[in-house]
Amino acid sequence: MSTHLTLSERPTLEPRWLLPLIDGALAFLAFGAAYILRYDLQIIRPVYDPLERGFGPYIPFAALYAIFIWLNFQRNGLYRNIAGRAWLEEVYYVASSVAVSIVIVLAMFFILQPLATSRLMLIYVAALTLIASALSRLIRRWILAYLRHQGLGIQRVLIVGMGEVGRSLLGIMLTRPEFGYRPVGFLDDDQEKTAAGMGRVEALGGTDNLAAVIHREMIDTVVITFRWKHYDLIQALTEVCRETGADVRIVPEIMQLNIRQVQVENLDGIPLLGIGAHRSMSRANQLLKRSLDVLVVILGLPLWAPISLLVALALYLEGEGPVIYRQARVGKDGRSFEMLKFRSMIENAEALQEAMLRESGEDPRHPKFVDDPRVTGVGKFLRRTSLDELPNLINVIRGEMSLVGPRPPTPNEVELYEARHTRRLQITPGMTGWWQVRGRSNVPFDEMFEMDMYYIENWSIAMDIEILMLTIPRVFLRSGAI
């Protein structure tokens, strides 16, 4: 557990000196590479001075430049361990630091008037430093994300208060494991919430159990989500965290609103928080998403069409029923549509489901039966490889489904929804989504809902492309499919 460490002092997977050392080395090497571009390759402009200049006179300036890069990176907070900071935000601060450092070196050139000076070379230095530093940070993110997926460098988190904000935090942590947070459980004084639990995240009792839970579960970070009207309770819980050595984070009350509804402005040093109305995906974004769906389906036609013919032939020869299975599903804004799949079960499969639900105890909102006896021989292969979902592409062409989005529920499942669960129906359902690429079939309904809401509230084309790219290895490796 942490012992009263500040945000920037949190332990990281790599030594704290490693990233500054890499940045300094890259800055120095950028000077060497820029020298080669300017004097050996003579990019853009030739060197008219007949005297050959060695790299030696540039070495002191390269060393000072590396120091300036380190100082400016430090000043801009690039060495703080801030979870969730975007890569493009880091690149912005890298560019700002490089610009300031180059201006300082250029000023030294004018003041000291060294024998070896090339302003064009400094432009090369700045460009090479920016590219190298941006790439090194991107590679670092990939490595850290991989290690955290392997369970290394994880912060064990306890959420106190499982209201709307607590559920949103839980969804983000489950959806973005690369942030390094693993929700171990939650505390809440509402017995209904603790009795229901939240999928695989265990309810650990009321707030009076905080100290015991921190010790027993080896909690690193406690996140308190109660409103400020419970100030006395928040203060007491904070003191417990301090005494036990756990790091504590408190969600500001303004964040009880959706974070994307809050805009921060600065009026001569006075922060103004603007609260905007919640907006669903704009028409322009819907058109962009629809265009991506159609483009991918058309480009993939030479691949999926022959495979579909082979699957259809195998099902026809098996002779257990129709090749295409049609099922009523609920789509965007609660509209029903007929979802198409390759048949993978016997003909009276739906009639047997109610009895199977009673026997298995599965959640009827999201049932997943292991070793389902209704699945046919060919159907087992189709399900393991997700080939049974290929006809969904016809639903995508029709506009009833998207390539990426929440799973389309059946009408019976929707009847069991609470009011908040209907928010999943805000956008077009998809063939794949966040919960499929993060956990596949073993994700309980409550976790699936929070992941779907994270997707809806944070949608972007880049996010869809990321999910599609993550789906490919999941399908080929048959990870979690049943």
Residues 175 and 141 in one domain: no
Q: What is the pLDDT of residue 49?
A: 58
Give the mean model confidence (pLDDT) for residues 190-194. Answer: 77
- CATH number of the domain residue 189 falls in: 3.40.50.720
Answer yes or no: is 455 within a domain: yes
| Last-in-domain residue among 149, 171, 201 | 149
Residues 108 and 192 in one domain: no
Answer yes or no: is 481 within a domain: no
117: CB partners within 8 A, 6+ apart: 109
Residue type, 245: G
Answer yes or no: is 141 within a domain: yes
Residue 290 near residue 371 (C-beta atoms within 8 A): no
What band does 196 get if pLDDT is binned at 50, 70 and 90?
A: low
Give the mean model confidence (pLDDT) for residues 323-340. Answer: 92
Q: Which domain covers residue 237, as residue numbers?
A: 155-275
| Last-in-domain residue among 98, 120, 149 | 149
Q: State in Å, rounded, how far the first CA of the chain is from the last one.
A: 38
What band does 272 get if pLDDT is binned at 50, 70 and 90?
A: low
| Proportion of the chain above pLDDT 70, given as a percent | 80
Answer yes or no: is 2 within a domain: no
What band does 16 get if pLDDT is binned at 50, 70 and 90?
A: confident
The more confident residue out of 267 and 14 is 14
Residues 322 and 201 in one domain: no
Q: What is the pLDDT of residue 439?
A: 57
Residues 362 and 423 in one domain: yes
Residues 34 and 172 in one domain: no
Identity of the highest mean pLDDT range in 234-238, 416-420, 460-464: 234-238
Residue 185 near residue 213 (C-beta atoms within 8 A): yes
Least confident of 179-183, 281-285, 313-317, 427-431: 281-285
Answer yes or no: is 117 within a domain: yes
What band does 4 get if pLDDT is binned at 50, 70 and 90?
A: very low
* pLDDT(273) > 70: no
Count of domains forming the chain: 3
Q: What is the pLDDT of residue 37?
A: 84
Residues 90 and 217 in one domain: no
**DSSP track, 213-254:** HHHHHT-SEEEE---GGGHHHHHHHHHHHHHHT-EEEE--GG
Answer yes or no: is 440 within a domain: yes
Answer yes or no: is 384 within a domain: yes
Q: What is the pLDDT of residue 57?
A: 78
Residues 360 and 447 in one domain: yes
Residue 180 near residue 156 (C-beta atoms within 8 A): no
Q: What is the pLDDT of residue 402?
A: 94
Residues 293 and 175 in one domain: no
Answer yes or no: is 415 within a domain: yes
Residues 234 and 326 in one domain: no
Q: What is the pLDDT of residue 111?
A: 80
Least confident of 55-64, 109-118, 372-381: 109-118
